Amino acid sequence: MVISDKLAQIPDSYFGKTMGRKVEHGSKTLINMAVGIPDGETPQGIIDCLSESIRIPENQKYGAFHGKDSFKQAIVDFYKRQYQVELDKEDEVCILYGTKNGLVNLPQCIVNPGEYVLLPDPGYTDYLAGVLLADAKPHALVLKAPYYLPQWNKVDKEVLSKTRLVYLTYPNNPTGSVATQSVFDEAVAQFKNTKTKIVHDFAYSAFGFDNKNPSILQSEGAKDLAIEVFSLSKGYNMSGFRVGFAVGNKEMIQALKKFQTHTHAGMFGALQDAATYALNHYDSFLETQNETFKRRRDEFEKKLKEAQIPFEPMSGGIFLWLQTPKGYDGAAFVTYLLQEQSILVAPGIPFGEQGRNYVRISLALNDAELVEAAKRIQSLKHLYQ
């Protein structure tokens, strides 16, 4: 097999390995609760805009490497409107070809070999690959139940002094926990006047069930050391479009942009036009998305409580973090659910050591499937007694 030593040392992506694979399950109809792809359709206006934009001659040619002015202006306007954050569209905005690219590539842009990067545990699985590609040292930022928030005084001081990048993600994937503005204030204060930078993965920004999710850039001084990565995939049902952006600290943004000039030749103009239309016209759709998933959360959690099945409180995002029964780790419980109940979920362990005795359940399914899934899981209450 031909593969570089560096690539060989990086674990396979869990979702890259499992998404789309054929699974063997029990006798019931399969319910796939493993993948966080929103189940709704992309709003028709966005589809119409994309269709029309494909026919524009200038969109059929190479475009500006760093994106259309109209798209960057829409990003600036959106952040001003939603978060009261002022941005410079040239210095503080970087268009991303899917936010995963930005999140995984960032360490290669700003971290040197041997330097530490703090990764949330539990947290998104593919952050690690970016750290290893940069020959940096990953270190767990342990997040404890039930709120899964950073405790900076519990991180080794020597590690902190050598840390050059910290990943945060709220609403948290996989736990459904959220951060208040004070959490971001503390993070910014912790690393003020140091060499450490912060990247906040804001993929599930639209989903805050008790309060609107804050942006880290709303914290005083945040742009001195932090960027935020925003995705159109979840809130707008645009996961297949692969469009997102990073905003914030000028130095980090410019490093990302330089990296992309060597790996990409500009995003397809029609995609940019569709994303621009989404940002400019669908604020109310984001509110509808949030209401939908809040209702799903309320109904699903109610069923689990009735059966006295333990889970962590879900305050945002689209995933519920379910504890496994005694005697099962996440992997074993995934197998059990698949064989006995024909339910496919994700094991907690790929998200970090803190997820060993959990599974992640996606609520991105239609109502009928969620009702049936809740009934099947309720029937397992004897395992928890």
Mean pLDDT across the chain: 93
Question: Do 204 and 256 share a structural domain?
Answer: yes
Question: Domain containing 333: what range?
Answer: 5-42+284-380
State the CB neighbour count (10 A cutoff) for residue 74.
22
What is the predicted pLDDT for the residue at 368? 95
Q: ∠ at Cα 255 (173, 128), nearest 5°? A: 35
Q: Which of 256, 282, 308 is the last residue of a domain?
A: 282
- Identify whether 276 is part of a domain: yes
| Interatomic CA distance for residues 120 and 66, integer angstroms | 30
Q: Which of 262, 282, 302 is the last residue of a domain?
A: 282
Length of the chain: 385
| R_g (Cα) of the chain, nearest Å | 21
Question: Do 261 and 312 share a structural domain?
Answer: no
Question: Do 104 and 28 share a structural domain?
Answer: no
Residue 211 contacts by C-beta under 8 Å, 6 or more apart in sequence? 178, 180
| Interatomic CA distance for residues 331 and 335, integer angstroms | 7
- Structural domains of the chain, count: 2
Question: Do 211 and 88 share a structural domain?
Answer: yes
Residue range 322-369, pLDDT digits in tens? 999 999 999 999 999 999 999 999 999 999 999 999 999 999 999 999
Question: Do 130 and 236 share a structural domain?
Answer: yes
Residue range 125-160, pLDDT digits in tens? 899 999 999 999 999 999 999 999 999 999 999 999
> 304-322 in b/e burial notation, b at 16+ Cβ within 10 A?
beeeebebbbbbbbbbbbb
The CATH number covering residue 73 comes to 3.40.640.10
Q: Is the peptide bond before 120 cis (omega within 30 degrees of 0)?
A: no
Question: Do 245 and 111 share a structural domain?
Answer: yes
Please tell me what DSSP assigns to residue 134.
T
- Identify whether 385 is part of a domain: no
Global confidence as pTM: 0.95
| Interatomic CA distance for residues 67 and 49, integer angstroms | 17
Residue range 18-77, pLDDT digits in tens? 555 677 776 789 999 998 888 899 999 999 999 999 999 988 888 777 889 999 999 999
3 state DSSP class of 20 = coil
Please tell me what DSSP assigns to residue 240.
G
| Interatomic CA distance for residues 84 and 181, integer angstroms | 13
Question: Do 362 and 311 share a structural domain?
Answer: yes
- The owner of tokens 């940002």 is 279
Q: Is the pLDDT of residue 296 over 70?
A: yes
